[in-house]
Amino acid sequence: MKRYKDIFFDFDDTLYDTHGNAVIALSELFDKYNLGQYFDDPKVFYDSYWYENVVLWSQYAKGEIDRDYLIVERFRRPLSVGMCPDGTHFSPTREFCLEISDVFLDLSSCKPGVIDGAHEIVEYLHAKGYRLHICSNGFHEVQYKKLKSCGLFPFFDSVILSEDAGFNKPHKEFFDYAIKMSSASVDSTIMIGDNFNTDIMGAKNYGIDTLFFNAHPADFTAPEPVTFEVNRLLDIKNIL
């Protein structure tokens, strides 16, 4: 089997339970800002938030929108679904959206929740001598908080973020930057991630081997061949 030296790890929802931690933070946010005055059913707000979040992050990864637009719109859109007492739709200001976004990021980034097996697999790979690197499209200050909150920070040789690279995964320029900053070789590096488009196709198109973490195989089948695929993080032990 090919011997790898460097492992590029996606972070959100590959190692860090971004969705699970955000669910808790959204509930705390709903109560903190008394959003029940605009939503009879909190689920309406939550469902709208998750729908818009997926749309906006996909656009951000493609370079179609910038960070500032994403931060405002991911709350402006779901909040605008809410109804005021006079029967009109709630129309949040940009300032309110920025404030609520900052509070949400603080609430969610301090949560310690990780994907099942994350600590064990990272410790295992580190002990085997692999050089580990985070490769993420997440925001700079938030990702460092998350890494420290969940206790994984000490195991990584470098943290490579799109904001520093100037390009998002899956763009070639992101991986140019990742290879340079990690001092890794394409031939001895493997990318592990849960997002098929940004993590897997980005790395594959660059010539880096891939390990697709497909946590929901009943819902998604890889449309193109990958080097490896696992459904649980601990199954990586059978490969690396």
Cis, peptide link before residue 217, omega less than 30° from 0: no
Rounded Cα gap, residues 78 and 239, in angstroms: 42
In this prediction, residues 173-190 reach a mean pLDDT of 98
Q: What share of the chain is helix, strand, coil (3-state, %, to 5)?
A: 50, 15, 35
Q: With 90 as the cut, is the pLDDT of residue 206 above it?
A: yes
| Band of residue 105 on the pLDDT scale cut at 50, 70, 90 | very high
| Band of residue 141 on the pLDDT scale cut at 50, 70, 90 | confident
Give this prediction's pTM: 0.92
Burial of 24 by CB count in 10 Å (0-12 exposed, 13-18 middle, 19+ buried)?
middle
Closest CA to 53 of 107, 104, 90: 104
Predicted local confidence at residue 215, as pLDDT: 94
Q: What domains can you pick out in the chain, each with its CATH number?
A: 6-17+114-238 (3.40.50.1000), 19-109 (1.10.150.240)
Rounded Cα gap, residues 62 and 170, in angstroms: 8
